[in-house]
Amino acid sequence: MNVEPQSLEALIGEFASLPGVGQKTARRLAYHILSQSKSDVQRFAENLINASTKVHPCPCCHAFTEDEICNTCRDRSGAKSICVVEKSSDIIPFERSGIYKGLYFVLGGTISPLDGIGPEHLHLPQLVSRIKEEGIEELVLALGSSTEADSTALMIDRLLQGVPVKRTRLARGIPMGSDLEFVDEVTMLRAFEGRVSL
């Protein structure tokens, strides 16, 4: 017999559907929400709705923004290097550490046949055309250190055959399978400075 009300069960289910949130954490979050005042819950709900309606991918680089074009694409329009990341949150460690002053491009994932993600699901055509149209001189691949990242890097290298752009990858200071958004600034700095040619 289930002792939790149906609406509470539904709320737990929503939290459990978030990446990295297990059933126990989902239940703890749901109970926390219910212990808050109505005005706090209302504010939380409004912030969720605001973010989902106002934030959208930048048409140039696919990073999240509230503006027509993100600040980086607007302020660094003359830059000649592009750092390719898997998701928008991967940009944060680069910006926080100040080690990179070029453009970014969010690929939207990595090739993972087991998860049903093929090259057609990523923003590969836009990346290639941006490199060609903007005369990009260096492409920095910052896709982490998984086998999926490796196969995605090889695919990008293949797509850019004959295009005069220097292609580099972060050094292997990043632990295998780790998520870039959780890498500390010193490790990121070493990996960036030690980047190697593809």
pLDDT digits (tens, 9 = 90+) for 4-56: 889 999 999 999 999 999 999 999 999 999 999 999 999 999 999 999 999 99
Residue 97 pLDDT: 84
What tokens does 87 get? Answer: 């998701």
Q: How confident is the model at residue 144 (pLDDT cuts 50, 70, 90)?
A: confident
Q: List CB contacts of 30: < 8 A, sequence separation 6 or more.
A: 8, 11, 12, 15
Q: What is the pTM of this model?
A: 0.78
Question: Percentage of residues in the chain with pLDDT exceeding 90?
Answer: 65
Top-confidence residue, 2 or 7: 7
Q: Report the alpha-carbon distance of residue 112 to residue 120 in Å, rounded.
A: 11
Residue 116 pLDDT: 87
CA distances from 49 to 9, 15, 55, 123, 174 (A): 21, 16, 10, 26, 35
Q: How confident is the model at residue 124 (pLDDT cuts 50, 70, 90)?
A: very high
Q: What is the pLDDT of residues 48-86, one digit of tens each?
A: 999 999 999 999 999 999 999 999 999 998 899 999 999
Top-confidence residue, 98 or 144: 98
β pairing state of 166-169 and 196-197? antiparallel
Top-confidence residue, 178 or 37: 37
DSSP state of 112: B
Least confident span in 104-113, 149-158, 186-195: 186-195
